[in-house]
Homo-oligomer: A and B are copies of this chain.
């Protein structure tokens, strides 16, 4: 298990560190990339060597972060992981650097404690929120580039201040980052106002495959592997599409079936208050949270649909009876 550090102990170690290698998680998102880039710029501005390593390429839309990739230009003296909840999330290709990690900075409550030391705040909306506190405690100036990096993690992890992890502190930090020069108008355009042609195509397909069940209390849509391949959409662009069916007025359970390359179906379950997504998933061998859960089912589309719909019906009945009891 990791030694648990507070902010002061964390900055003590960072200020003593030299030749700092910063590690992101695989499939890098805005938060791991933004935290890593912000820390890199801060350390470089303090006159230290620092660079960022990720097992997958950093998406080109984050080019404004001006990340210096690690290509062996120095011998790492201190290794920091940012926003990486478990050692499996590093990806195999950078294994030679993940065997002894000095420090992990993270906001995932589930963090496995793989690093020697850890600064963890699971109440933070994003690791970038913690990173802002680290940098200001280190007395580093929040330059416009650093502000852009931190805003990226903060805004993407909160779905642009929409998700339930959005706190007053998150809004306050957004204000501070804007005052420090974050180009929020341009960033919002890049991060939230852009969809690929493939994504548009698969969204159309999914909507064409939209069905309503149980007096419209459940909406279900599906995408076969052929349809996904035809659209040309990338796997990273498919995650948030699962939120679509639950957004329909009156729908309490939104189901998305997505056929995987091996032909099985990955099923995402999204529910409104009072309907337990995790209970549905668990009965089919999956798991997750109360409002968002998932499972994987073998077999063809009809079988997968029949199996998930039977469990949805059971859960909707339970929820309805509970509401009835509460009203009595």
Q: Smallest Cβ distance from A318 to chain B, in angstroms?
A: 22
Is A175 within 8 A of B171, CB to CB? yes
Question: Which residue from chain B places its CB closest to the CB of A245 in the assembled complex?
Answer: B200
Chain A positions 132-188 with a Cβ under 8 Å from a chain B Cβ? 160-164, 166-169, 171-172, 174-176, 178-179, 184-185, 188
**How long is the Cα–Cα vector from A247 to B192 in the complex, in angstroms?**
9
Q: Point out the residues of chain B lying under 8 angstroms from A188, CB to CB.
A: 162-164, 166
Mark each residue of chain A from 235 to 247: 1 if its CB lies under 8 Å from any CB of chain B, else 0. Answer: 0000000010011
Question: Which residue from chain B places its CB closest to the CB of A178 in the assembled complex?
Answer: B168
Is B193 within 8 A of A164, CB to CB? no
Say yes or no: is A327 at the interface (Cβ < 8 Å to chain B): no
Say yes or no: is A207 at the interface (Cβ < 8 Å to chain B): yes
Say yes or no: is A249 at the interface (Cβ < 8 Å to chain B): yes
Is B193 within 8 A of A249, CB to CB? no
Q: Smallest Cβ distance from A207 to chain B, in angstroms?
A: 4
**How long is the Cα–Cα vector from A243 to B164 in the complex, in angstroms?**
25
17 further contact pairs, Cβ within 8 A, besides A162-B192, A207-B207: A161-B174, A163-B188, A164-B188, A166-B185, A168-B174, A168-B176, A169-B175, A171-B174, A172-B175, A189-B272, A193-B243, A194-B247, A197-B216, A197-B249, A197-B250, A203-B207, A204-B207
Q: Point out the residues of chain B lying under 8 angstroms from A160, CB to CB.
A: 160-162
**How long is the Cα–Cα vector from A188 to B167 in the complex, in angstroms?**
13
What is the total number of residues of chain A having a CB less than 8 Å from a CB of chain B?
A: 41
Shortest 6 CB-CB distances between A and B: which pairs?
A171-B175, A168-B178, A171-B174, A168-B175, A204-B207, A172-B175
Q: Smallest Cβ distance from A211 to chain B, in angstroms?
A: 12
Q: Smallest Cβ distance from A197 to chain B, in angstroms?
A: 6
- Label chain A's interface by main secondary structure: helix
Chain A positions 34-74 with a Cβ under 8 Å from a chain B Cβ? none
Q: Point out the residues of chain B lying under 8 angstroms from A246, CB to CB.
A: 193
Q: Point out the residues of chain B lying under 8 angstroms from A7, CB to CB.
A: none
Chain A positions 102-134 with a Cβ under 8 Å from a chain B Cβ? none
Say yes or no: is A208 at the interface (Cβ < 8 Å to chain B): yes
**How long is the Cα–Cα vector from A248 to B198 in the complex, in angstroms?**
9
Q: Point out the residues of chain B lying under 8 angstroms from A172, CB to CB.
A: 171-172, 175
User: Which of these, B176, B208, B212, contacts A204 with CB under 8 Å?
Assistant: B208
Whether A195 contacts B161 in the complex (CB less than 8 A), given A171-B174, A200-B210, A207-B203, comes out as: no
Q: Point out the residues of chain B lying under 8 angstroms from A216, CB to CB.
A: 197
Q: Point out the residues of chain B lying under 8 angstroms from A174, CB to CB.
A: 161, 168, 171
Q: Smallest Cβ distance from A232 to chain B, in angstroms?
A: 12
Is A249 within 8 A of B185, CB to CB? no
Q: Point out the residues of chain B lying under 8 angstroms from A192, CB to CB.
A: 162
Q: Point out the residues of chain B lying under 8 angstroms from A178, CB to CB.
A: 167-168, 171
Say yes or no: is A325 at the interface (Cβ < 8 Å to chain B): no
Q: Point out the residues of chain B lying under 8 angstroms from A166, CB to CB.
A: 184-185, 188
Which residue, of A164, A200, A208, A272, has the highest number of chain B Cβ atoms within 10 A?
A200
